[in-house]
Structure 1
Amino acid sequence: MKKVITQGLVGLTIFLSSWVLLNQIDWIDLLEIDKATAKTEIKIGELYWDVFKSNEVENKDAFVNKTIDSLVVKICSRNKIDREHIKVHILNKEEVNAFALPNGHLIIYSGLILASDNPEELSGIIGHELAHIELNHVMRKLINEIGLSVLISMTTGNGSTEIISQTAKLLSSSAFDRDLEKEADLKAVDYLINSKIDTEPFANFLYKLYTKENELQEALSWVSTHPILKERATYILEYSASKKTTIPEMILAPQSWKELQEKLN
């Protein structure tokens, strides 16, 4: 009996020791999945941007780009986001939409800027998309829905133009799941608070889109791709109220905002 117990204890000790050792191994590094994903993200980001660049008109106006960049720079600098990694593209399109592509590409439609009543509303949406980029939501979505092996094959010349175009639409016309959207919303609130930007307009913008959903169905792409707008506006306000904030700063002169809108119109 004692021998059986001893053998059992030895077996348990070996099992526990093996379990501890296995958990100390960084399997991702061992299999170099992170490295492969990073290389793929760079290539796939360029492929997807080429799709949008060839099918849409990019706004090249110096004032428009400088003004939007000032908002991006403010959020990035106050939140230790690598501005050099973020590639902002403003496309002349009436749809109210913004979305992120792999490798830090941030697409903003002119329709979204025109639908914003003030730079604080727009900054909330920019913060939301930056959060998707910084939290690696973009690649996670693609890997979950397409698979890493398919993405890698696309970057090695084995993916057809049609496949690349169709998968690119996943990022511009379909939402992340609820948990990821909420995570990006709350991270955006943190970004705004750190940047001394008023968070209430961000919630107001979502609620405004919610109330106009039926009125402007065709133009409001951001409504269909970012569901539960009323719920999101509510928890953004609740989360903001729970945070310690300072007096917001003016982030853009009224005249500059007016000129931006006029140029896009």
Structure 2
Amino acid sequence: MTKKILLQAAIIIASFFLVWFGFSQIDFMKLFSVKERSEKIEHKLGDMIWNQIEDTEDIVTNDTIVKSLDKLLKPICEANDIDRDSLKVHIIKKDEINAFALPNNHLVVYTGLIEDCKRQEALQGVLGHEIAHIEKNHVMKKLSKEIGYSVLISAAGGTKGSQIAKEILKTLSSSAYDRKLEKEADITSVKYMLEADIDPRPMADFMYQMAQDSNIDKNMYWIADHPESEERAKYILDYLKGKKLKSKATLSEKDWKAFQEQVKEE
């Protein structure tokens, strides 16, 4: 028995030194340097793309509209420990039913989306979905996969930056993430809403509504180009089965309708 105990102790000690030796071979300074460089690239790309959007699109700066959208975002951020100030939220006057995330925490919302949502919870679900893409680093994963990290570095460094920025913007605003990332963003948004006592079912209804609308240009709208939108609505509802749902409206029905009307008249 004593020999067995000594052998086990020897194995534990040997394992400890083996792990310690392995970690000692890692160049943590180099590792952190790579992370820091990636963050700098992301910051440059996000700001570069947003600057291009600012020069070409009609940006909504109406204080009442901006504050109303912020009210819808606030409970999601507060309930899920998301730093609201870290999100750079922009509203663009455009009929397309669209919202998308850019590098460096930029979140773009089109007025067409706000107008088309029958329920405020549906809009909050879409916002939560895009915040999830940001929080889970899906944006850079998508760009690295579809455009290539070396191209992104080149763009951030100023080489053909404007030309590449257009390609990046097109990729993020009009094409879906892969199924795995989309599902992760969907379910994360649902979790965000549950934590904030917001009913996620209107988000699933919105997806189903968009999937059934045959008049939608499938290359230009938030839900239509996402994979299997009916299936996504179904797995959201399946996820909610058996869960206690609280339905606490962020805006009064009067304020929600007034918000949509203001957006329409902008």
Q: How does 1:109-258 map to 2 (within 5 A)?
A: 109-212=110-213, 214-217=214-217, 221-242=221-242, 244-258=243-257
3-state secondary structure, aligned to 2:89: strand
Distance 2:97 2:104 in 1: 23
Identity %: 40
**Offset at residue 205 of structure 1 (A):** 0.5
Match of 1:10 in 2: none
Query: Counterparts of 1:89 and 1:224 in 2: how far apart (Å)?
Result: 22
Offset, 1:55:
1.6
Deviations 1:154-213 (A, max 9, x none): 12222342222122211111110000000000000100000100011010000000111x
The aligned counterpart of 1:80 is 81
CA contact (8 A) 2:175 2:219 kept: no
* Rounded Cα–Cα distance in structure 2 between residues aligned with 1:251 and 1:25: 52
The Cα shift of 1:49 comes to: 0.7
Task: Report the number of matched residues.
Answer: 249
Q: When the two structures are superposed, what TM-score results if normalisation uses the length of structure 2?
A: 0.87
Mapped to 2, the partners of 1:73 and 1:256 lie a distance apart of 16
Q: Check 1:53–1:241 CA distance in 2 against 1; reply closer, same or farther (3 A cut).
A: same
User: How far is 1:148 from its partner?
Assistant: 2.5
- Choose 244-253 or 132-141, whichever is displaced more: 244-253
Unaligned runs of 5+ in 2: 1-13
Instruction: Give the counterpart letter for 1:51 in structure 2.
Output: Q
Instruction: Look up the SS of the partner of 1:106 in the other structure.
Output: strand
2: CA distance between counterparts of 1:253 and 1:150? 47
Q: Is the 8 A contact 1:28 1:34 kept in 2?
A: no
1:222 Cα shift? 1.5
Contact 1:206-1:232 at 8 Å conserved across structures = yes
Separation of aligned partners in 1, 2:194 and 2:26: 35
Q: Which amino acid aligns with 1:262?
A: E
How far apart, CA to CA, are the structure 2 residues paired with 1:140 and 1:20?
31
Q: Distance in 2 between matches of 1:125 and 1:28?
A: 38
Q: Please say if 1:260 is aligned against 2:259.
A: yes
Secondary structure of residue in 2 paired with 1:103: coil
**Distance in 2 (alpha carbons) for counterparts of 1:176 and 1:25:** 36
Q: Which residue of 1 aligns with 2:95?
A: 94
Distance 1:216 1:152 in 2: 35
Task: Give the residue type in structure 1 aligned to 2:247.
Answer: P
Residue aligned with 2:61, SS = coil
- Report the AA paired with residue 116 of structure 1: C
Partner of 2:4: none
Change in 2 beyond 3 A, CA 1:218/1:150 = closer
Report if aligned partners of 1:51, 1:168 keep a CA contact under 8 Å in 2: no
CA–CA distance in 2 between the matches of 1:238 and 1:39?
40
